[in-house]
Structure 1
């Protein structure tokens, strides 16, 4: 039997295991929202108590978020086939395996302990490079700028809410200054979601807590004059084409969720922003 690998990760970094497990669980379903055989393989190879997340509604939420981000990346690459995609806080994400077009340049950025774990499952290629650094460290921007061309798409999935507002502003300024005209996909946690973290089904199982309370992506436009919010959705209000392609049981669940208008759902937004 192959020996399983431990996941020696920092407090916030541990949260990357939640969406990883969500994709693995979803991939095994008869009618999945997305398939991710690599996630299944990685979960099987890591020595971690994933069972603590079994049956949690948030697992489906992570899959829906990832699927929406996948769609945005695919749309970007359809318009810019040789553009550059960068995963901020990449974790053990496998978006490259799902959305790559065989022409784009990819970068996977995360903290050193995460990249060390990631290298057990992924390797660099001429078009795909891992970078071990904090997103707040400006040195990564030098590496990306020196080894790629625009346009640029930055995917920050389940990353920025764990930073302080000061650090988030620094990151937004860094992206807009070094890569003007870039597109940023991100999630934001408003008061209804932020203030219920201790009761959250998944976050209550780990020690990490969000630090940036943001009412919505319009705040980013206020910080960066000229920035434009291209799209913004809640998990209960996904784009119609994506909703229509979901399994019927998921559609029914989301319709019921939308009718309840729960603050912890309505205050969590997935947005696409054009930065100038």
Structure 2
């Protein structure tokens, strides 16, 4: 099966990988202030593109993806500065290529996703470095930590995990289970970064200009940022980054109102840190 046909046969949630890929391929020209300079996105997109399938073009989605990409990248880079040679895991990597930005000559990066995505990825993105590997991953499984061969002991070196455009498609109990497992298993100093929508968007993927074409649905959203750390006593909410800030009207009007009424950003990147009891 060609890469174009394989991309068309992805199931609903995995098929959303086309959205960030298209945004990174075209977004720098639209929003030069948020340019990510992805050296691979355009060529990968061209190989899976089918003239019969429209690609995402709505500006707010492209803006948000570029901004969240920059945020994930900066969080990972900050972690690697603190932990040279540390391990970074992209959970639900799709066709992203973060190694191009995070390779400092020592970092170890794991790209992980469902088998159907990895099959496509291996066709489009060849192995690039011994410090970069790929692993099959199902975040809905109870043993996802073991699937990634993450540290067995809390006294091990910290790890940086991030998941981009994934958790909003999981059921709330599965999201909480992922956060709880991270809290239970992660060595102190480890970070889990992820993007999340406001709970008001749950069940309304059909209203999203890009997601509605995939058949995927939003199942989980944040009601209060404080709830994220409640999944386990070792978790601390380290940062919240509202990725649509600066896009202009009407967001500049709606976003502060939503924060006032509901106490949660419409869309943001969150970072949780695992701490030892003595750090609490």
Normalization by structure 2: what TM-score?
0.82
Q: Is 2:145 aligned against 1:145?
A: no
For the residues of structure 2 that align with 1:272 and 1:234, how far apart are their CA atoms? 12
What residue ranges of structure 2 are gaps of 5+ in the alignment?
A: 276-280
Contact in 2 for aligned 1:141/1:178 (Cα 8 Å): no
What residue ranges of structure 1 are gaps of 5+ in the alignment?
A: 238-250
Partner of 2:21: 20
Secondary structure in 1 matching 2:123? coil
Map 1:1-276 to 2 at 5 A: 5-6=4-5, 7=7, 8-28=9-29, 31=32, 33-48=35-50, 51-124=54-127, 125-137=129-141, 138=143, 141=146, 143-145=148-150, 150-181=157-188, 182-194=190-202, 196-237=204-245, 251=246, 253-254=247-248, 257-261=251-255, 263=258, 266-276=265-275
Secondary structure in 2 matching 1:9? coil
* Aligned-residue offset at 1:121: 2.3
Secondary structure in 1 matching 2:40? helix
Q: How has the CA–CA distance of structure 1 residues 52 and 218 changed in structure 2, closer, same or farther, with 3 Å as cutoff?
A: same
Contact in 1 for aligned 2:184/2:232 (Cα 8 Å): no
* Aligned-residue offset at 1:59: 1.7
Normalization by structure 1: what TM-score?
0.84
For the residues of structure 2 that align with 1:10 and 1:55, how far apart are their CA atoms? 22
Deviates more, 1:161-170 or 1:11-20: 161-170
Pairwise CA RMSD: 2.6
For the residues of structure 1 that align with 2:82 and 2:250, how far apart are their CA atoms? 35
